[in-house]
Amino acid sequence: MLRPHLDRLWSLLRGERGLDEELRFHVEKQTEANVAKGMAPEEARRQALVALGGIDKTREECRDALGLRLLTDLAQDIRYALRQLRRSPGFTAVAVLTLALGIGANTAVFSVINAVLLRPLPYHDADRLVDFQEADEHGKANWLAAPNFLDFQRDNHVFEQLAAYTGAGFVYNGSEGANWAEAQHVSHNMFATLGIAPALGGDFTAADADGDGHAAILSWPFWQAACGGDPRIIGQTIRLNGKPYEVRGVMPRGFRFPYTQPVDLWTPLVLGPEARDPGLRGGRYLVGIGRLRPGVTVHQAGTDTRLIAQRNKAGSPPSLRVAGDVSVVGLRSSLVGDARRPLILVLGAVGFVLLIAAGNLANLLLGRATVRRKEMAMRAAIGASRYRLIRQTLTESTLLAGLGGAAGLLAGVWGTRLLLSLSPADLPGLHDAGMDLRVLAFTAAASLGTGLLFGLAPAFAAAGVNVQESLKQSGAAGRTGQHLLRNGLVVAEIALSLALLAGAGLLVRSFLRLLAVPPGFDPQKVLVALVSLDSPGRSEEARRPELVRQLVERIETIPGVISAGASTNLPLSNTNMICVFSTPDGSQTDQRRRTGFRAVTPGYLRTLAVPLVRGRFFEHYDAADAPPVAIINQTMARRYWPGEDPIGKHIVTPFRRVATYRIVGIVHDMKYAGLDQEATPEMFVPFAQLPTGWARLAVRTHGDPAQVVSAIRSQLRTLAPDVPLWKVSTMQRMVSDSVAPRRFYMVLLSAFAGMALLLALAGIYGVVSYAVAQRTHEIGVRMALGAGRRQVLALVVAHGLRLALAGVLIGLGGALAATRLLATLLFGVSASDPATFAAVSLALALAALAASYFPARGATKVHLIVALRCE
């Protein structure tokens, strides 16, 4: 009973060898019989073979019977393909390298997209999490006020949990002295909302919301660095701002709060009875994170909470400007922000590169197919079906694609690392980018897809083989179709390259335009740093102005320092202070105005080299007890005192100490928010008259700003040993960081456009060389008839130029459409900027010319006799 199955298994294992032997035996016996009948030995054998009816066919039918056909065919195809590839190492190398380039670039970009856009955020059931804030009259997220947050938390019907956080920082007194810890105040249910519990110790409790808030949960890296990874720290205290905070727990390794900067520790958000004061409904400083109830959509959550917001607004005086609207956005979207579109565009661009690579491969394979058409014809003649031939060619292409894909995977890993090193820091999840199942699947799909794509062309060429024609020595027929295909592929490649080059060109121009924007100050060689002016945990308003003044004075004595100053906020720092003000003697168009606002030392504006337009800078006599004065920028002057001189006019602010400032100077606008942003109103007051607990130093030096850092630190230590200096950087670096995202996309697109160009040029070179080889005979004839070198050159180069022109013309339309997608990324340049398009088209044409030149030169060197003889 088992016998037949065993037989079958045995046959499977023995494979074809048994069958071959059997058939050989059969043929021998038949031959013998034929000889016995009187035939000559050769005839006997031939008749025996004929009687058998074709060995290959028999074999195939047996295999069919075995049901193994597909598998053994495949194995045979693969072995054959490998052999072919090994026989032409040059071709294989070029093909695999081309593929590695295309697939590697795609893998790298996709792994970034995977990490930032696709992978779920590392929280429990992360797509139920939303970012929740109040919204301004334009619907833009505008933070939460504490009393409103408590109302939302209590009265909503849509959130399982609603938590809130705000940024904070502490001076942490560790073993190496004072250090800064980035922190966040979080509501007690924050980690429960995220669904991640501390790895050591425990979470905050409801009691913490009302207590003194002197508890802390540490992040894993901070715990390692500051506490040496000692688990006994749970229940112990650490000193933050001079006060003891009980360490409740440590978050797991790898945990990242949904926020752009890494956070060192979390303390409870204390929302005691004062937090419910309705007078604070306008004071927005919190951000909410909510977990939606099952089945609730983002839209529903918005509708439900909007009612609460409107109720709050109705019950508050208009002066508080309570928001009547909410902003509920998926957490991932809020973190990713504007990055989604440019990332997808980059993926599109790198997809183009892969298409161009596939085109080149198709051409390469077509060339090989032509060379091997005799072989193909032979196989067709002895019984290979057309289907089999196509399958064999496709197997070869797929094998090539597989090899290329494997190489591309390696290249992609390396490329991902490169991308990460270049990218701006604020893309969420970026640091985790790397190989995972999805990326692997993508690479495999890309390889197979590419393989099928470029494999189709030679496969059809193989299938369309005309046996008679191919077996003849000269097979000129059927080649025009191929010529069209090859040329067409190259034209398509050129068109795609044009689109990429145009896009890259536009981004480059935008970036250069951006860099050329005058920032309104001189960022060269200016050191910046943050200084806390109070002893940790104390509020010493009285000593702040004097401390700052002395510090600045001492810094200016350091050799190499030209001048120094301090301000509450630096330009391009992503920080701001805004105050509401009114102008009793200015234009009365809108009552409540807002201006950016900074307290600065007298030397600050001079240190940054902000030009004074009218009036004067602050001086030392603008002290705490002197009349309050202010300096404004041009935008503020123009907007609120149009047509008149603001000097001598007044500004009224709602600060508790000083209410009315007299304007004494007007300075040039600074690009405060970004080089690509419009200047907004700014107002400066003397630091002495509004001393905050911190100050940002700006120090202009002769040489490298980094050299004076230690000198500044020692000066600070002598003045106030318990005050740390951190966030040391240079103004130049801040300018650079502010344009980092733009630079990133520009570099990426330019790199891919460059790759595309190189590949397209290789394609042109290939096609033109091939044409020259095909037309060697014709060239020989022409030369024999008197054509000179120059004419032959012109002939060949004209071919290349024709391809380029066709590609450019066809590509122009597509490129114009494609660059429209870039519009939001551009600055100072339109998406159809004619200069860029003209330049790029010209460059492409010239490059194509160069690519055609070399085969052209080869053509002229052809020996007359060889050419005439060759067919």
Partner 1 sequence: MKLPKSEVMYGTLDLLVLKTLNTMGPMHGWGIAQRIQQISEDLLRVNQGTLYPALLRLQQRGWITAKWGVSDNNRKAKYYSITRAGQKQLEQEAESWERMAALINRVLEGA
Verify binding: residue 22, partner 1, rule CB under 8 A.
Answer: yes
Verify binding: residue 28, partner 1, rule CB under 8 A.
Answer: yes
Question: Helix 373-381 vs helix 386-422: angle between axes, to the nearest 10 degrees?
Answer: 140
Residue 53 C-beta: closest distance to partner 1, Å:
3
Distance from the first to the final alpha carbon of the chain: 65
Q: Tell me whether residue 30 or residue 423 sits nearer to partner 1 (CB atom).
A: 30
Specify the DSSP element, H or E, that contains 300: helix 298-314
Cα dist. 634→304, 412, 647 in Å? 44, 50, 12
Verify binding: residue 61, partner 1, rule CB under 8 A.
Answer: yes
Q: Tell me whether residue 12 or residue 371 sits nearer to partner 1 (CB atom).
A: 12
Q: Tell me whether residue 9 or residue 659 sits nearer to partner 1 (CB atom).
A: 9
Residue 112 backbone class (left: φ over 0; alpha: ψ -120 to 50; beta: rest): alpha
Three-class SS string for 132-173? EEEECCCCCECCEEHHHHHHHHHHCCCEEEEEEEEEEEEEEE
Q: Which of 9, 20, 21, 648 binds partner 1 (CB under 8 A)?
A: 21
User: Residue 105 is encoded by which pair of tokens?
Assistant: 């670039």
Residue 39 C-beta: closest distance to partner 1, Å:
16
What are the residues whose beta carbons fall under 8 Å from the beta carbon of 622, sequence distance 6 or more?
602, 629, 686, 688, 689
Site residues for partner 1, 66-85, by CB under 8 A, read 66
Residue 377 C-beta: closest distance to partner 1, Å:
24
Sole window of 1-9, 204-212, 385-393, 696-704 interacting with partner 1 (rule: CB under 8 A): 1-9
Sole window of 7-15, 196-204, 255-263, 336-344 interacting with partner 1 (rule: CB under 8 A): 7-15
Site string for partner 1, 529-548 (x = CB under 8 A): --------------------
What are the residues whose beta carbons fall under 8 Å from the beta carbon of 231, sequence distance 6 or more?
200
Radius of gyration of the chain (CA): 38
Q: Tell me whether residue 28 or residue 540 sits nearer to partner 1 (CB atom).
A: 28
Q: Tell me whether residue 60 or residue 151 sits nearer to partner 1 (CB atom).
A: 60
Sole window of 45-53, 485-493, 574-582, 701-709 interacting with partner 1 (rule: CB under 8 A): 45-53
Residue 70 C-beta: closest distance to partner 1, Å:
16
Q: Could you tell me if 582 and 735 are in contact, meaning their C-beta atoms sit under 8 angstroms apart? A: no
Q: Tell me whether residue 16 or residue 375 sits nearer to partner 1 (CB atom).
A: 16
User: Using CA atoms, how far apart are residues 623 and 514, in angstroms rounded to an integer?
Assistant: 39
Q: Tell me whether residue 33 or residue 444 sits nearer to partner 1 (CB atom).
A: 33
Verify binding: residue 87, partner 1, rule CB under 8 A.
Answer: no
DSSP 232: G
**Residue that the structure tokens 């290959």 belong to:** 56
Q: Which of 47, 58, 72, 774 binds partner 1 (CB under 8 A)?
A: 58
Residue 67 C-beta: closest distance to partner 1, Å:
9
Verify binding: residue 8, partner 1, rule CB under 8 A.
Answer: yes
Please state the length of the chain.
Answer: 871
User: Using CA atoms, how far apart are residues 332 and 345, in angstroms rounded to an integer?
Assistant: 19
User: Using CA atoms, how far apart are residues 467 and 843, in angstroms rounded to an integer?
Assistant: 45
DSSP 691: -
Q: Which of 29, 431, 620, 657 binds partner 1 (CB under 8 A)?
A: 29
Verify binding: residue 3, partner 1, rule CB under 8 A.
Answer: yes
Q: Which of 16, 33, 283, 435 binds partner 1 (CB under 8 A)?
A: 33
Q: Which of 9, 41, 54, 76 binds partner 1 (CB under 8 A)?
A: 54
Residue 375 C-beta: closest distance to partner 1, Å:
25
Closest CA to 404 of 756, 770, 105, 758: 105
Q: Tell me whether residue 18 or residue 315 sits nearer to partner 1 (CB atom).
A: 18
Q: Which residues pair with 465 in a beta bridge?
A: none
Verify binding: residue 20, partner 1, rule CB under 8 A.
Answer: no
Sole window of 25-33, 189-197, 347-355, 854-862 interacting with partner 1 (rule: CB under 8 A): 25-33
Verify binding: residue 57, partner 1, rule CB under 8 A.
Answer: yes
Residue 52 C-beta: closest distance to partner 1, Å:
5
Specify the DSSP element, H or E, that contains 248: strand 243-250
Specify the DSSP element, H or E, that contains 32: helix 16-37
Residue 44 C-beta: closest distance to partner 1, Å:
14
Q: Could you tell me if 328 and 291 are in contact, meaning their C-beta atoms sit under 8 angstroms apart? A: no
Q: Could you tell me if 343 and 145 are in contact, meaning their C-beta atoms sit under 8 angstroms apart? A: no
Residue 449 backbone class (left: φ over 0; alpha: ψ -120 to 50; beta: rest): alpha
Verify binding: residue 51, partner 1, rule CB under 8 A.
Answer: yes
Residue 42 C-beta: closest distance to partner 1, Å:
19
> CA torsion angle for 7, 9, 13, 16 (degrees, to 10)?
60
Q: Tell me whether residue 27 or residue 843 sits nearer to partner 1 (CB atom).
A: 27
Residue 54 backbone class (left: φ over 0; alpha: ψ -120 to 50; beta: rest): left
Sole window of 3-11, 82-90, 92-100, 548-556 interacting with partner 1 (rule: CB under 8 A): 3-11
Verify binding: residue 23, partner 1, rule CB under 8 A.
Answer: yes
Q: Tell me whether residue 26 or residue 293 sits nearer to partner 1 (CB atom).
A: 26
Residue 32 C-beta: closest distance to partner 1, Å:
9
Verify binding: residue 62, partner 1, rule CB under 8 A.
Answer: yes
Q: Total binding residues for partner 1 by CB under 8 A?
A: 28
| Count of H-run helices and E-run strands, the chain | 27, 22
236 three-state secondary structure: coil
Question: In this structure, which amino acid lies at residue 7?
Answer: D
Q: Which of 65, 371, 381, 382 binds partner 1 (CB under 8 A)?
A: 65
Residue 2 C-beta: closest distance to partner 1, Å:
10
User: Using CA atoms, how far apart are residues 736 and 733, in angstroms rounded to an integer?
Assistant: 5
Q: Tell me whether residue 19 or residue 118 sits nearer to partner 1 (CB atom).
A: 19
User: Using CA atoms, how far apart are residues 690 and 771, in angstroms rounded to an integer?
Assistant: 79
Q: Could you tell me if 119 and 432 are in contact, meaning their C-beta atoms sit under 8 angstroms apart? A: yes
Residue 37 C-beta: closest distance to partner 1, Å:
13
Q: Tell me whether residue 57 or residue 869 sits nearer to partner 1 (CB atom).
A: 57
Q: Tell me whether residue 17 or residue 87 sits nearer to partner 1 (CB atom).
A: 17
Verify binding: residue 30, partner 1, rule CB under 8 A.
Answer: yes
439 three-state secondary structure: helix
Verify binding: residue 382, partner 1, rule CB under 8 A.
Answer: no
| Residues near partner 1, by CB under 8 A | 1, 3-4, 7-8, 11, 18-19, 21-23, 25-26, 28-30, 33, 51-54, 57-58, 61-62, 64-66
